[in-house]
Structure 1
C-alpha cells in the first residue's frame, strides 16, 4: 500500500487571522536570499520559511523579482538608517572618535544583521549594483567630510584626493565587514577596532606628495 502524500504547504491556505504580515514575508525572503542566493531561491522555499503559501507571496509581491526588489529596498533603508544614526551620534566627538564610530557602524550592522548584510553585499544580481552604489555613495559622502576635516586640521586644502581617499576607506571597510560576516570565529568589535586603527594610521602616515599628485591630476613617474 502506498504511503499518503504529505500536503503541499506552499499551496495550503491559512486562515486570514494567521496570515503573516508583509514584514514577516520579507524576513523570510531575506533569509532565503541570503542562504541560497537569488538564482537558487524559490517562491516555494520562501513561502515555507514564512509558514505561508505561494499564492500569498504572489498576491503580495507579484513575482520573485519584485519580492527581491522589495526585500532589497527595505534592507538598504535599514543599513542607511543604522549608519547615518551612528554618524549623527558622533557629530560632536573628536575626529578620531568619529572615524571609529563610522567604521564600527558597518561592522556592528554586519554582526547584528548577518542575513541582511550577506544578501545586500554577496548578491550578484544586476538590480543590486545600483542599490549598492547608492548606499556606498551615501556612506562615502559622510566619510569625505571626515577626510576633508582631517586634511584641514593638518593645514591642507582638500581636493579630488579627499574623495578618492574616502572611496578607498569605504571599500576597505565594506570588504572587511563582509569577511567578518563569513567568519564566525572573528569578533566583529575587535575587527572594527583593527580597521579603525588601520584607517587612522593610513591617514596619519599619508605621504602629502601623493595626495598633491592626485589633486593636480599628475602621476608620480
Structure 2
C-alpha cells in the first residue's frame, strides 16, 4: 500500500502527453549534462529528476540516442539563432552603437539561457564541439563581411591582411564576455558588460 502511494505522483504526470512533455525532458537533460556531464543523461536519471516513471520519458523519445540527438539539435538551433540575432545588420559606421548593441544582445541572450551556452561550449563531446564550431563559423563569415565593408569606408591600410586577425579578436572578445558573465564574479550586468566590451572592441577595430 505504501509503495503504491509512493509511485502515484509519478503516474499523474502522464496526462500532459508526449508533445507537451518533450521540452521538459530536454530541459532536464540539458541541466543534467551541464551539471554532471553528458554521461549522466540517461532515461532513468531524467525520470528520477522529473519525478515521473520511465515510460513517460520513453513516450517522448525512443531511446537515449534519440534524446541526446534532439538535445544537440535544439541547442545548436538556439545558438545559431542567437548568434545571428546579435550580429550587426549593417556596416559598423563611425560610432560604436552597432557593436555595443551586438554585445549587449549577446550577453542578454546568454543570461536568459546560460545552460545552453555551457552545454555547447564546455561539453567535451566531439559532435557537440563541431556544432559549436559550426555556429562560430557562421559568425566569422558574417563578421568578415561586415568588417570588410567598414574598413573600406574607414580607409584602413592593409585591410585584407588585418581583417582575419580583427575578426578573430572580435569573436574572442565576445566569447570572453560570455565567460565573464557566466562566472558571475565581477558583478557585471549584461548591459554594463556589453557597453564596456562593445566599446573597446569598436575602438580596436576602428583604430587598426
TM-score by length of 1: 0.75
1:24 aligns with 2:24: yes
> Relative contact order (alpha carbons < 8 A, sep ≥ 6): 1 or 2 greater?
2
> Structure 2: which 5+ runs fail to align?
none
Q: 2:203 maps to which residue?
A: 201
Contact 2:42 2:64 in 1 (8 A): yes
Bigger CA drift: 166-175 or 106-115? 166-175
Q: 1:73 maps to which residue?
A: 73
SS state at 1:26 partner: helix
How far has the Cα of 1:60 moved from its partner? 3.3
Instruction: Decide whether aligned partners of structure 1 residues 155 and 92 sit closer, same or farther in structure 2, where only a CA change above 3 A counts.
Output: closer
Instruction: Decide whether aligned partners of structure 1 residues 27 and 148 sit closer, same or farther in structure 2, where only a CA change above 3 A counts.
Output: same
How far has the Cα of 1:46 moved from its partner? 1.9
Q: How does 1:13-52 map to 2 (within 5 A)?
A: 13-14=11-12, 16-19=14-17, 20-52=20-52
Separation of aligned partners in 2, 1:187 and 1:6: 46
Q: 1:178 maps to which residue?
A: 179
Q: How does 1:145-184 map to 2 (within 5 A)?
A: 145-156=145-156, 158-183=159-184
Contact 2:103 2:194 in 1 (8 A): yes
Q: Deviations over 1:29-73 (max 9, x none)?
A: 122222222133333232233343333434533443432221121
Aligned residues: 202
1:85 aligns with 2:82: no
TM-score by length of 2: 0.79
Q: Hey, which bits of structure 1, 4+ residues long, moved more than 6 A? A: 3-6
Contact 1:79 1:109 in 2 (8 A): no
Q: Cα RMSD over matched residues?
A: 3.0
Instruction: Decide whether aligned partners of structure 1 residues 37 and 154 sit closer, same or farther in structure 2, where only a CA change above 3 A counts.
Output: same
SS state at 1:186 partner: coil
> Structure 1: which 5+ runs fail to align?
207-221
How far has the Cα of 1:7 moved from its partner? 4.6
Q: 2:57 maps to which residue?
A: 57
Q: Deviations over 1:105-145 (max 9, x none)?
A: 32111111112122121211111111011100111222112
Q: How does 1:116-155 map to 2 (within 5 A)?
A: 116-155=116-155
Bigger CA drift: 17-26 or 169-178? 17-26
